[in-house]
């Protein structure tokens, strides 16, 4: 797997390249190392300051893993819709999660680590005056959805039947007022907590 690291923070770029090389990824290239012409990366590790269309046009087959180095929570849904991002990883995530994210991307899945996702809670139900809360099981299902898992994969992971997963999803959609997985992901990412710099 060839990984091109293009981060605004050079210290973080160096740390990630060293971490990946020690983990056995032997084709790790940083943008500031003047990559060889014809380089075809499988994965682009970028942040919001380096994510741009020219990079995606130059490497159309590469999967994009966004290292969220302080993106405003309200900007994440626009980034997801504007660029073809395949995964989001918090900079404070454990190193093994980076390896899991890379494996997931290589397998064609979408990756969002649980540290990057604030589980949404619906607003007060104005009809009843009660606050609907997402259950712990539904939070687990939302986290799986944000990782790009299918109903069948979620069922296997959580030891549920696919029918039960579907029933949970219907309740989640109703409580949150969404109609699809992509809208659920956008809502979840839109409600990420703000981080102090």
3-state secondary structure 84-130: CCCEEECCCCCHHHHHHHHHHHHCCCCEECHHHCCCCCCCEECCCCE
Closest by Cα among 77, 90, 67, 83 to 4: 67
| Low pLDDT (below 50) residues in the chain | 118-131, 192-197
Say what the pTM is.
0.58
What are the residue ranges spanned by the domains of the chain? 2-116, 124-190
pLDDT (tens digit per residue) in 53-77: 888 888 889 999 988 877 776 677 6
CATH tag for 2-116 (out of 2.40.33.20, 3.40.50.1100, 3.30.465.10, 3.40.50.2300): 3.40.50.2300
Note the pLDDT of residue 125.
40
Note the pLDDT of residue 115.
56
What CATH number is given for 124-190 in this structure? Answer: 1.10.10.10
Note the pLDDT of residue 157.
92
């Amino acid at each position: 797997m060839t990984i091109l690291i293009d981060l605004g923070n050079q210290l973080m770029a160096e740390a990630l390249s060293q971490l990946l090389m020690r983990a056995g990824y032997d084709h790790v290239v940083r943008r500031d190392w003047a990559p060889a012409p014809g380089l075809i990366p499988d994965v682009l590790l970028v942040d919001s300051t380096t994510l741009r269309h020219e990079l995606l046009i130059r490497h159309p087959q590469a999967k994009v893993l966004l290292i969220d180095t302080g993106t405003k929570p309200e900007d994440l849904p626009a980034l997801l819709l504007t660029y073809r991002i395949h995964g989001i990883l918090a900079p404070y995530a454990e190193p093994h999660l980076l390896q899991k994210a890379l494996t997931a991307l290589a397998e064609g899945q979408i990756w969002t680590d649980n540290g990057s996702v604030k589980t949404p809670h619906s607003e007060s139900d104005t009809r009843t005056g009660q606050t609907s809360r997402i259950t712990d099981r539904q939070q687990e299902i939302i986290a799986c959805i944000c990782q790009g898992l299918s109903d069948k994969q979620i069922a296997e992971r959580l030891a549920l039947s696919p029918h039960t997963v579907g029933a949970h999803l219907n309740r989640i959609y109703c409580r949150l007022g969404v109609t699809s997985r992509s809208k659920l992901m956008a809502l979840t990412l839109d409600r990420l907590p703000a981080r102090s710099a």
